[in-house]
Amino acid sequence: DAEITQSPRHKITETGRQVTLACHQTWNHNNMFWYRQDLGHGLRLIHYSYGVQDTNKGEVSDGYSVSRSNTEDLPLTLESAASSQTSVYFCASSDGRKGINYNEQFFGPGTRLTVL
Amino acid sequence: AQTVTQSQPEMSVQEAETVTLSCTYDTSESDYYLFWYKQPPSRQMILVIRQEAYKQQNATENRFSVNFQKAAKSFSLKISDSQLGDAAMYFCAYRFNFGNEKLTFGTGTRLTIIP
């Protein structure tokens, strides 16, 4: 069965370190998204991609970067981790073509990141 | 910019009863989608129900139904015959239709089911 996976599921790091969170989907979806979830804020969009070599900033992109070299993966990098980036991170993907699931995003299980 | 507001941080309901979760949104667009997502303690985001703005008929999925009031920009979720497995965070989300699939989420409502 097609799925979307994230790794690691839990990560503890120190302030200033570079951290990369992986997202891998086997749906062959064009669109991929990264969100962060914080209490009182719901989920907020960090970056997104509508295809290979395409990346776009979301509403909370400062301190984060992404690159899309293939259809299946969209890694999220924190260049220099800060305590304010302690959060739960969700990756999602969607088809992008018209069809019965055209407008549905499928979410990964999330990564809990703690920055000390 | 679009905004989504969930004014009820927490709700509780007796098992087998009906509960309604509120959501309002702000947009200048006329063609868009609205969603309710469920997030149980496992953290997995699960799509519960979706509504297309150009459809007047309210969406239903088994025990879940919505009351979509386009003019009032209101999109409430009704859960009938509440079950213990319905306990979760519920998020309302908005998406503009044409070529832009970014979701804008509300802050969530934590639903507790009382046995």
Residue A101 has pLDDT above 60, yes or no: no
User: Using one digit for the tens of pLDDT, what is the confidence trace for B77-94?
Assistant: 999 999 999 999 999 999
Contacts of B91 in chain A (CB under 8 A): 42-43
Question: Does residue B30 come out as left (phi exceeding 0), alpha (psi in the -120 to 50 range) or beta?
Answer: alpha
**Cβ of residue A96 closer than 8 Å to a chain B Cβ:** yes
Residues with Cβ within 8 Å of residue A18, at least 6 apart in sequence: A77, A78, A79, A80, A81
- Rounded Cα–Cα distance for residues A32 and A46 (Å): 11
In terms of Cα–Cα distance, which of A68, A61, A27, A26 is closest to A47? A61
- State which residues of chain B have pLDDT below 70: 98-100
Cβ-defined contact of A110 to B102 (cutoff 8 Å): no
Long-range contacts formed by A24-28: CB under 8 A, 24+ apart: A24/A72, A24/A73, A25/A72, A25/A73, A25/A91, A25/A93, A25/A106, A25/A108, A26/A2, A26/A72, A27/A2, A27/A3, A27/A93, A27/A95, A27/A106, A28/A2, A28/A71, A28/A72
For residue A40, is pLDDT > 90?
Answer: no
Average pLDDT of chain A is 93
Residue B71 Cα, gap to closest chain A Cα (Å)? 22
Tell me what the mean pLDDT of segment A61-75 comes to: 97
Comparing CB atoms, the residue among B33, B91, B97 nearest residue A42 is B91
Quote the pLDDT of residue A41: 87
Per-residue HEC secondary structure of B60-107 comes to EECCEEEEEECCCCEEEEEECCCCHHHCEEEEEEEEECCCCCCCEECC
Q: Is the pLDDT of residue A97 over 80?
A: no
pLDDT at B99: 64
- Residue A110 has its nearest CB partner, among B43, B101, B104, at B43
Contacts of B102 in chain A (CB under 8 A): 33, 45, 48, 58
pLDDT band at A98 (very low <50, low <70, confident <90, very high): low
Give the confidence band of A100 by pLDDT, cuts at 50, 70, 90: low
